[in-house]
Amino acid sequence: MRSPPWFDKDEQHEPQTKAGLHPLEVMIKAKVAAMLEKKKLLGDGQADQGKFVLKTAKGTRDYGPKSMAVRESVLKIVTDAFKRHGAETIDTPVFELRDVLMGKYGEEGGKLVYDLQDQGGELLSLRYDLTVPFARYLAMNKISNIKRYHIAKVYRRDQPVMTRGRYREFYQCDFDIAGQYDLMIPEAECLKIVDEVLSKLEIGEFYVKLNHRYILEGMFAACGAGSDQFKTVCSSIDKLDKQPWNEVEEELIKEKGLSKDNTEKLGRFVRLREFNPSMGNVELLDKLMEFEELARNERFKKGIEELKVLVNYCTLFGVRSIRFDPSLARGLDYYTGAIYEAVVPNILFSRIPEALEGVNLEANGEEQKGLPVGVGSVAAGGRYDELVGNFIGPTGPKGKEKRQDVPCVGVSFGIERLFAIMEAKMQIEQMQVRTTETQVFIASAQKNLLQERMKLCGQLWDEGFKVEMAYKANPKLLTQLQYCEDRLIPLVLIVGERELQEGVVKLRNVKTREEQDVPLTELVSTIRSVLALI
Amino acid sequence: MRSPPWFDKDEQHEPQTKAGLHPLEVMIKAKVAAMLEKKKLLGDGQADQGKFVLKTAKGTRDYGPKSMAVRESVLKIVTDAFKRHGAETIDTPVFELRDVLMGKYGEEGGKLVYDLQDQGGELLSLRYDLTVPFARYLAMNKISNIKRYHIAKVYRRDQPVMTRGRYREFYQCDFDIAGQYDLMIPEAECLKIVDEVLSKLEIGEFYVKLNHRYILEGMFAACGAGSDQFKTVCSSIDKLDKQPWNEVEEELIKEKGLSKDNTEKLGRFVRLREFNPSMGNVELLDKLMEFEELARNERFKKGIEELKVLVNYCTLFGVRSIRFDPSLARGLDYYTGAIYEAVVPNILFSRIPEALEGVNLEANGEEQKGLPVGVGSVAAGGRYDELVGNFIGPTGPKGKEKRQDVPCVGVSFGIERLFAIMEAKMQIEQMQVRTTETQVFIASAQKNLLQERMKLCGQLWDEGFKVEMAYKANPKLLTQLQYCEDRLIPLVLIVGERELQEGVVKLRNVKTREEQDVPLTELVSTIRSVLALI
């Protein structure tokens, strides 16, 4: 039995701290090398086989045991938080009737939906997110209140950027509260969850930007941009976290048709947080109300008041990471109230693409050129009160009753990005990842002890221990011990002829290399107590 | 706040034990009623909305919180077993390049693959099982040994039978051991896992049929059916668990072209277990060797000897559920050695379709007519030594070296069937299913205590407790207590004005309705110790 060879190629290298190199730089170099290697391998494979290139579909990847172990540790923190808040879970099919998805993601999004081939029967598409299937589920089952989470993969035919964790198949991890409840209480719980998850992941500093659709609408209206321009102005403002103001300003004037004066005014509004970096949330909300043209807009005023309530509730819940930011303009059509986005200004993560600049990789056929550097948004959400109602439509005997809306608010974690951050963190901190939970390995000291090993194995499995043994009739002792050291298995039971005659087995602590003879009759209790101490 | 209304419609009814009716019959009647109700609802919806029918794609379903809770409990038992045996987990994309899947599932299977629409770029298909993607993963990453499990959904455009748990989207739950190891040791571990999982699920009697490709080949050859007829004869023999011998015999003669004599001979071989129901495995293997025309076939002999080794290893592992059965003829092309299939002769499950006979349901558009009654196979697998090599092809500098095979053996649990059996069992035994893990509910006795509740909630979440509160500013106490009883939440903290002034809260045990005042300073430790006792 050899040392396990199944770690992903780009996971295998150990981060080295060579003279003068930051561990991160070493890691990046290794990553690049691994990718070039991969490319070479792929090329070779193609020539040799003549059949077809052995690869996964564009924008997708396999997850080897080590990646999966990291993912499971991140997902555990997230699901634990959801469960701590009393959420149930549901699951919906990976594809929906095409009509269910149509018109929900704007023009841009619609183009990215994967359609299934018409093989007779219904027209189907892969889900693009979990929110629309959730709304369909509520409407179809006439459910008017639920607190649920849903962790599943979604599909977008986007340009993939594998090095930055942007895939065509990726996990979403959603928590939503549906129901007619009192103002801002569910929102506060969503923000509490974001705060808990990001704290527990220990990925460094983070904060949660907060805004409200009414505030955006009010600011835009005061600058001559009516509701028909809401989306398009949002999409410009939304770029402020990646582009300087003068570029956004130019876009607003040249492409969106705002006047120079109005654009300047809008700049004063949306950049208020930027101009007052140390100001508290309530102070900043009050400051925005000082603009007369905003304050006389009732809807705007309502937005400000609602956020004040939310800020207070967050304080009561012990959430200190929120920052009101009038430049937060999440573009999704369906938001109707508060919106938020958690940001990790993580230097680790944002430096990786820089280091790769100029390297034209085609790992697994993906092109990496000319793509914008992201900002480290790791969770986002908001209130969407009308999405479910859109599915239900007007009800009642004549179809003329009022809409049956099911108010919803939720948050979605950018779990792929969290995985990537966590993997980078673990490599830099040289943390060892166990891919199995094996507690005891049953080894043999001499030949012809297979039957004894099997009997012991069976007994220990039946007692609930996590146990492995070599699948060889006569494995070498050293190979077996080496396997345990490689896989971080804490205990080895060594079966030997002398010991069997005496009715004992040798119990070895892999780390300390201490050994003791344990009578077979006391084996279970001894292992249990030794494991309890490790 | 109302009693939670989000249970699936067909889950909501309580099993009643009306006079003279078996609980199962009550359950079935309720299920039929719920389905007819669902059909009606769907019809109405269509008429009212005018837009489109709100439904999931044919052959798929949503899983509500209660179904998910049952699924998670089943999956936990399965994954615990996999982890107890030292398995790692991997994940592969939901779609593969079409070429990867082509020609792996025979003519029948190939027709059932879901293709994605050609939207420019690669031609993709949804995975049909997890075995072919696993083999592709091993070949692509040049992995020659791994013990992995993979739990994920697969897709088949089959005729769905929703009432019997046959869907177009369903979970597979695979455990496989890849690597060049000694004879039958990995097989024995697979069978041990099947034994452990089915025992722990407590779904009643089960046994595992065992056979070997070489034994099937030997028996067929002795009856004039060569290797070109292997698959087609297998498919007839495979029907023996659902059809009487005379029907299979007729098929073999009329459709497969076997002579009357040869068919009779084959019957004597494959029905050996049927004729000797109480015979032990080794005895039965020996008995088959008594047929001279079989014994002189070296390959057949090897099959018999290998199974004898496996039977011995199973005994050492404490597996008592295996039954050598020469009529087991799993049709998959890729098996090369031992094959096995676990069967639950479960009366509960097999009676449901009978009761539904004559009822022409169209729940969610599925037709239920004219479909064969299944036999309760809940796990199956075997050895497939050549599948990975087929992907790798011949290697070496000139592509003329010998094939790079990666021997594999594995088992796949029919997890959807296990879910269905478990759901039926829970309904019949009237077991209550909790869909959340909430430990403490924070209630208020009077109005205007929202802020106090929120503060307490935040503190208890931070301490790691699973806590909920009403999303209303002024909920009624009775409504809050009723919610806890409905959801089986064990503890309620009641915040009241009198208590707050005294620096205490009331802690109520929901089941016993006992209440005690707890000082706020001792709250965390008190809750911890009370929960430990519940």
Cα–Cα distance, A46 to A44 (Å, whole number): 5
Contact call for B454 and A188, based on CB within 8 A: yes
Q: Which residues contact B431 (CB under 8 A, 6 or more apart)?
A: B425
Do strands A467-469 and A440-444 pair parallel, antiparallel, or not at all (unpaired)? parallel
Contact call for B145 and A5, based on CB within 8 A: yes
Cα–Cα distance, B493 to B470 (Å, whole number): 12
What pLDDT shows up at residue B36? 54
Cα–Cα distance, B68 to B7 (Å, whole number): 11
Contact call for B5 and A144, based on CB within 8 A: yes
10 Å Cβ neighbour count for A384? 25
Cα–Cα distance, A146 to A90 (Å, whole number): 10
Contact call for A461 and B436, based on CB within 8 A: no
First to last CA, chain A: 26
pLDDT (tens, 9 = 90+) of chain B, 534 residues, equals 333 333 233 333 333 333 444 445 555 555 556 555 554 444 443 334 445 578 999 999 999 999 999 999 999 999 999 999 999 999 999 999 999 998 888 777 788 999 999 988 899 999 999 999 999 999 999 999 999 999 999 999 988 887 666 789 999 999 999 999 999 999 999 999 999 999 999 888 899 999 999 999 999 999 999 888 888 899 899 889 888 999 999 999 999 999 999 999 999 999 999 999 999 999 999 999 999 999 999 999 999 999 999 999 999 999 999 999 999 997 667 899 999 999 988 545 444 444 333 333 333 333 332 222 344 789 999 999 998 988 876 554 555 566 678 999 999 998 888 888 888 888 888 888 899 999 999 999 999 999 999 999 999 999 999 999 999 999 999 999 999 999 999 999 999 999 999 999 999 999 999 999 999 999 999 999 999 998
A213 has which bridge partners?
none
What pLDDT shows up at residue B37? 53
Residue with tokens 């249970």: B7
All CATH 3.40.50.800 domain ranges in chain B, comma separated: 440-533
What pLDDT shows up at residue B421? 83
Cα–Cα distance, A25 to B419 (Å, whole number): 49
What pLDDT shows up at residue A75? 96
What pLDDT shows up at residue A355? 36
A44 class by beta-carbon count within 10 Å (0-12 exposed, 13-18 middle, 19+ buried)? exposed
Q: Which residue of B has its CA nearest to A125?
A: B116
With beta carbons less than 8 A apart as the criterion, state whether A154 and A277 touch.
Answer: no
A341 vs A21, residue with greater confidence: A341
Cα–Cα distance, B275 to B253 (Å, whole number): 22
Kindly tell me if the per-residue pLDDT of A458 is higher than 80. yes
With beta carbons less than 8 A apart as the criterion, state whether B357 and B369 touch.
Answer: no
For chain A, how many residues are written?
534
Q: Closest Cα of chain B to A128: distance in Å? A: 14
Query: Distance between alpha carbon B364 and the CA centroid of its chain, in Å?
Result: 22
Q: Could you tell me which of B250, B245, B312 has the C-alpha nearest to residue B273?
A: B245
Among B41, B95, B168, B387, pick the best mutation site for testing chain A contact (most A Cβ within 10 A).
Answer: B95
**H helix and E strand count, chain B:** 22, 15
Cα–Cα distance, B428 to B419 (Å, whole number): 14
Q: Could you tell me which of A338, A330, A373, A336 has the C-alpha nearest to residue A354?
A: A373
Residues in chain A within 8 Å Cβ distance of B465: 84
What pLDDT shows up at residue A41? 45
Q: Tell me the per-residue pLDDT of A135-165, one tens digit each, with 9 for 90 and over.
A: 999 999 999 999 999 999 999 998 887 766 6
Cα–Cα distance, B476 to B480 (Å, whole number): 6
Phi, psi torsion values for A409, nearest 5 degrees: -145, 145
Collapse the DSSP code of A264 into the 3-class scheme (helix H, G, I; strand E, B; otherwise coil) and give the result.
helix
Cα–Cα distance, B119 to A116 (Å, whole number): 10
Phi and psi based region of residue A63 (left: phi greater than 0; alpha: psi -120 to 50; beta: remaining): beta
Contact call for B93 and A60, based on CB within 8 A: yes
Phi, psi torsion values for A135, nearest 5 degrees: -65, -40
Cα–Cα distance, B372 to B365 (Å, whole number): 19
Q: Closest Cα of chain B to A17: distance in Å? A: 27
Report the 3 state secondary structure along B160-211. Answer: CEHHHCECCEEEEEEEEEECCCCCCHHHHHHHHHHHHHHHHHCCCCCEEEEE
Q: Which residue of B has its CA nearest to A54?
A: B140
Cα–Cα distance, A453 to B441 (Å, whole number): 50
What pLDDT shows up at residue A32? 56
What pLDDT shows up at residue A420? 82
Cα–Cα distance, B467 to B460 (Å, whole number): 7
What pLDDT shows up at residue B398? 56
DSSP state for residue B115 in the 8-state scheme: B
With beta carbons less than 8 A apart as the criterion, state whether B15 and B427 touch.
Answer: yes
Cα–Cα distance, A424 to A379 (Å, whole number): 19
Write down the ipTM of this complex. 0.83
Residues in chain B within 8 Å Cβ distance of A450: 185
What pLDDT shows up at residue B35? 55
AA identity, residue A524: V
Among B2, B77, B94, B142, pick the best mutation site for testing chain A contact (most A Cβ within 10 A).
Answer: B94
Contact call for A84 and B145, based on CB within 8 A: no
Cα–Cα distances in angstroms (integers) from residue A246 to residues A250, A252, A260, A450, in the given order? 6, 10, 12, 75
Residues in chain B within 8 Å Cβ distance of A155: 94
Contact call for A454 and B117, based on CB within 8 A: no
What are the helix (H) ranges across A463-509?
477-486, 497-502
With beta carbons less than 8 A apart as the criterion, state whether A518 and A505 touch.
Answer: yes
Contact call for A85 and B466, based on CB within 8 A: yes
B153 has which bridge partners?
B171
Q: Closest Cα of chain B to A517: distance in Å? A: 23
Phi and psi based region of residue A304 (left: phi greater than 0; alpha: psi -120 to 50; beta: remaining): alpha
Q: How confident is the model at residue A27 (pLDDT cuts 50, 70, 90)?
A: low
AA identity, residue B78: V
Q: Which two tokens stand for residue B279?
A: 């015979």
Query: Distance between alpha carbon B399 and the CA centroid of its chain, in Å?
Result: 41
Q: Which of B55, B83, B393 sits opposite A97 (nearest CB)?
A: B55
Contact call for A55 and B140, based on CB within 8 A: yes
Instruction: Give the pLDDT mean for A36-40.
Output: 51
What mean pLDDT, rounded, does chain A reach? 85
AA identity, residue A446: Q
With beta carbons less than 8 A apart as the criterion, state whether A308 and A215 touch.
Answer: no
What pLDDT shows up at residue A397? 52
Q: Which residues of B are annotated as a binding site for L-histidine?
A: 129-131, 156, 172, 176, 330, 334-335
With beta carbons less than 8 A apart as the criterion, state whether A253 and A236 touch.
Answer: no
Cα–Cα distance, A368 to A384 (Å, whole number): 34
Phi and psi based region of residue A137 (left: phi greater than 0; alpha: psi -120 to 50; beta: remaining): alpha
Q: Which of A89, A136, A471 sits opposite B65 (nearest CB)?
A: A89
Q: Which two tokens stand for residue B22?
A: 């078996």
Q: Closest Cα of chain B to A186: distance in Å? A: 6
What pLDDT shows up at residue B102? 86
| Maximum alpha-carbon separation in chain A | 95
pLDDT above 90: percentage of residues in chain A: 66
Report the 3 state secondary structure along A82-112. Answer: HHHCCCEECECCCEEEHHHHCCCCHHHHHHC
Cα–Cα distance, A71 to B420 (Å, whole number): 29
What pLDDT shows up at residue B222? 95
| Maximum alpha-carbon separation in chain B | 95
What pLDDT shows up at residue B109? 79
Q: Could you tell me which of A60, A342, A73 has the C-alpha nearest to residue A190?
A: A342
Q: Closest Cα of chain A to B62: distance in Å? A: 4
The dihedral sign for the CA sequence A330, A108, A155, B70: positive
With beta carbons less than 8 A apart as the criterion, state whether A474 and B180 touch.
Answer: no
All CATH 3.30.930.10 domain ranges in chain A, comma separated: 65-358+370-395+402-429
Specify whether domain A440-533 bears CATH 3.40.50.800.
Answer: yes
Phi, psi torsion values for A299, nearest 5 degrees: -65, -45
Query: Distance between alpha carbon A142 and the CA centroid of its chain, in Å?
Result: 30
Stated as kind and residue range, the H or E segment containing A378 is: strand A377-383
Q: Closest Cα of chain B to A260: distance in Å? A: 42
State the CATH class of domain B65-358+370-395+402-429.
alpha beta
| In A15-57, beta strands by DSSP E | none
Helix B260-270 × helix B245-254 angle, to 10°: 140
Q: Which residues contact B114 (CB under 8 A, 6 or more apart)?
A: A116, A117, A119, B125, B126, B155, B156, B157
Kindly tell me if the per-residue pLDDT of A367 is higher than 90. no
Dihedral Cα A352, A354, A359, A364, nearest 10 deg: 40
Q: Which two tokens stand for residue B117?
A: 């629409």
Collapse the DSSP code of B188 into the 3-class scheme (helix H, G, I; strand E, B; otherwise coil) and give the result.
helix
Q: Which residue of A has its CA nearest to B117?
A: A117
Cβ–Cβ pairs < 8 A, chains A and B? 286
Contact call for A90 and B64, based on CB within 8 A: yes
Cα–Cα distances in angstroms (integers) from residue B63 to residues A134, B71, B204, B459, in the given order? 11, 9, 25, 33
Contact call for B122 and A51, based on CB within 8 A: no
Q: How confident is the model at residue A398 (pLDDT cuts 50, 70, 90)?
A: low
Angle formed at CA A380 by CA A378 and CA A386, multiple of 5 degrees: 160
pLDDT above 70: percentage of residues in chain A: 82
Cα–Cα distance, A305 to A311 (Å, whole number): 10
A528: annotated binding-site residue? no
Query: Distance between alpha carbon A74 and the CA centroid of its chain, in Å?
Result: 8
Residues in chain A within 8 Å Cβ distance of B87: 436
Up-side HSE of residue A10: CA atoms within 13 Å toward CB? 24
User: Per residue in A157-181, is it b (16+ CB within 10 Å) or e — as a string?
Assistant: beebbbbbbbbbbbbbbbbbbbbeb
Residues in chain B within 8 Å Cβ distance of A435: 88
Q: Closest Cα of chain A to B446: distance in Å? A: 16
Q: Which of B56, B119, B466 sits opposite A84 (nearest CB)?
A: B466
pTM: 0.84
With beta carbons less than 8 A apart as the criterion, state whether B435 and B8 touch.
Answer: no
What pLDDT shows up at residue A33? 60
With beta carbons less than 8 A apart as the criterion, state whether A96 and A125 touch.
Answer: yes
